[in-house]
Amino acid sequence: MGMGRHQKSVASGVSARWVFLLCISSFFLGVLLVNRILATSETRDGNGRDSSKQNDQASSLHPLVDCQSKEGDILSRVSHTHDVIKTLDKTISSLEVELATARAARSEGGDGSPSVAKSVADRSKERPKMFFVMGIMTAFSSRKRRDSIRGTWLPKGDGLKRLEIEKGIIMRFVIGHSSSPGGVLDHTIEAEEEQHKDFFRLNHIEGYHELSSKTQIYFSSAVAKWDADFYIKVDDDVHVNLGMLGSTLARHRSKPRVYIGCMKSGPVLAQRGVKYHEPEFWKFGEEGNKYFRHATGQIYAISKDLATYISVNRQLLHKYANEDVSLGSWFIGLDVEHIDDRSLCCGTPMDCEWKGQAGNPCAASFDWSCSGICKSVDRMLEVHQRCGEDEGAIWHTSF
């Protein structure tokens, strides 16, 4: 019996130790499991929050659009945006022209005359709005040509002033200065100006080989002085019917960039010593090539935008030997409409006379063989009598 109690106590002791160890092991195992579970849960929660945040950001960056329900609205907005852009383009273009004109006025001193100091009051005046400005290119030696024009198609004195007020038409003989400012030639022109009040003096030294420069300065100075729809250049040996010319220009009044004249494309003359020789003939390709299309130099008209373009870019525009070629070259690459109007280059009687009798009076007449009316001083009156329009045409024509 004693031995039995000893074996029972040993069995009880072993069992107690094992129970104690099992309890400790279970405790630590439970702690490890709980920590593992908590760590896994936090990771999942973090990933879930990140995923949710990314989804929210994606949703804000790429909102869902119902294309079918909003298609009409999108097209409407696109159309409206297009209209706004067009309006802005027109506004910007208008502002550019006004800015360019202001710059030209400031740089030219208003009338193109040298060393003319403009008062603050003069600078503050707005340029008068005109229909067209006509510059009649003349020279110191051409007094008789000017008088032949004054005695035929050019109004004089009060008539010239009335034309400006009632019709918005400015006409002036355009001339620069001699190589000796203040000399006899300049005094002669000043005396003639005092008598007729029909000159427009340029800051330019006169010379036959300076016609391209003179034309450039004329347009720059004219656009700075007058705000006109058109600016015209005409030689002093050409006959003009002002009523027909005004009607011709009025048909193109709504066009922003027009170049009107009798268009031609003559040969580039490389041979030295001939009239109209082109020293830079090599720029136009192989010998025997022709010029690009341009208006003949006896008479042509350009719109305000083009005259302003010449004024703004005067220092950059290249001048060729021939003035009409130079002008045509300045418009190459621009969005310009070339208008070939043959009523601006009728021949002298019988050509212009027949056309007038047929109901198609010419706007301008000259002889191609002479690049103007041959012996214009002697024949201008004859051409006017046979080819000129009624004296009241300019007053009765509505522009």
Asked whether 351 and 332 are in contact (CB, 8 A), the reply is no
Residue 351 lies in a domain: yes
In the predicted structure, residue 17 carries a pLDDT above the cut 90:
no
Residue 278 lies in a domain: no
**Rounded percentage of the chain residues whose pLDDT exceeds 70:** 69
Asked whether 297 and 262 are in contact (CB, 8 A), the reply is no
Asked whether 277 and 254 are in contact (CB, 8 A), the reply is no
In the predicted structure, residue 8 carries a pLDDT above the cut 50:
no
Between 109-113, 208-212, 222-226, 348-352, the lowest mean confidence (pLDDT) is in 109-113
Residue 215 lies in a domain: yes
Residue 37 lies in a domain: no
pLDDT at position 209, please?
75
Q: For the chain, what is the largest distance between any 2 Cα atoms, rounded to a whole number of angstroms?
A: 173
CA-only gyration radius of the chain, Å: 44
pLDDT at position 274, please?
86
What does the H/E/C string look like for 190-250? HHHHHHHCCEEEEEEECCHHHHHHHHHHHHHHHHHHCEEEEEEEEECCCEECHHHHHHHHH
Residue 372 lies in a domain: yes
Asked whether 103 and 312 are in contact (CB, 8 A), the reply is yes
For residues 78 and 228, which has the higher predicted lDDT (pLDDT)? 228
Of the candidates 129, 127, 128, 134, the residue with the CA atom closest to the CA atom of residue 394: 134
Residue 367 lies in a domain: yes
Half-sphere exposure of 197 (CA within 13 A, CB side): 9
For residues 308 and 87, which has the higher predicted lDDT (pLDDT)? 308
In the predicted structure, residue 4 carries a pLDDT above the cut 50:
no
Q: What is the mean pLDDT of the chain?
A: 81
* Residues 356-392 pLDDT 10s: 999 899 999 999 999 999 999 999 999 999 999 988 8
Strand 169-177 vs strand 129-137: parallel, antiparallel, or unpaired? Answer: parallel
Residue 214's CATH number: 3.90.550.10
Residue 83 lies in a domain: no
Task: Give CA torsion, residues 15, 20, 21, 22, to 10 deg.
Answer: 80
In the predicted structure, residue 243 carries a pLDDT above the cut 80:
yes
Of the candidates 15, 195, 189, 63, the residue with the CA atom closest to the CA atom of residue 7: 15
Residue 70 tokens, joined: 């909003």
Between 23-37, 171-185, 262-276, the lowest mean confidence (pLDDT) is in 23-37
pLDDT at position 396, please?
87
Asked whether 195 and 158 are in contact (CB, 8 A), the reply is no
All residues at 6 or more sequence positions from 18 whose CB lies less than 8 Å from its CB, including other chains: none
pLDDT at position 151, please?
96
* Residues 311-333 pLDDT 10s: 999 999 999 989 999 999 999 99
Domain that holds residue 188: 129-262+295-396
Angle between helical axes of 323-330 and 211-225 (0-180°, round to 10): 50
Domains identified in the chain, total number: 1
In the predicted structure, residue 91 carries a pLDDT above the cut 60:
no
Q: How far apart are the first and last CA of the chain?
A: 149
In the predicted structure, residue 83 carries a pLDDT above the cut 60:
yes
Asked whether 324 and 297 are in contact (CB, 8 A), the reply is yes
Residue 119 lies in a domain: no
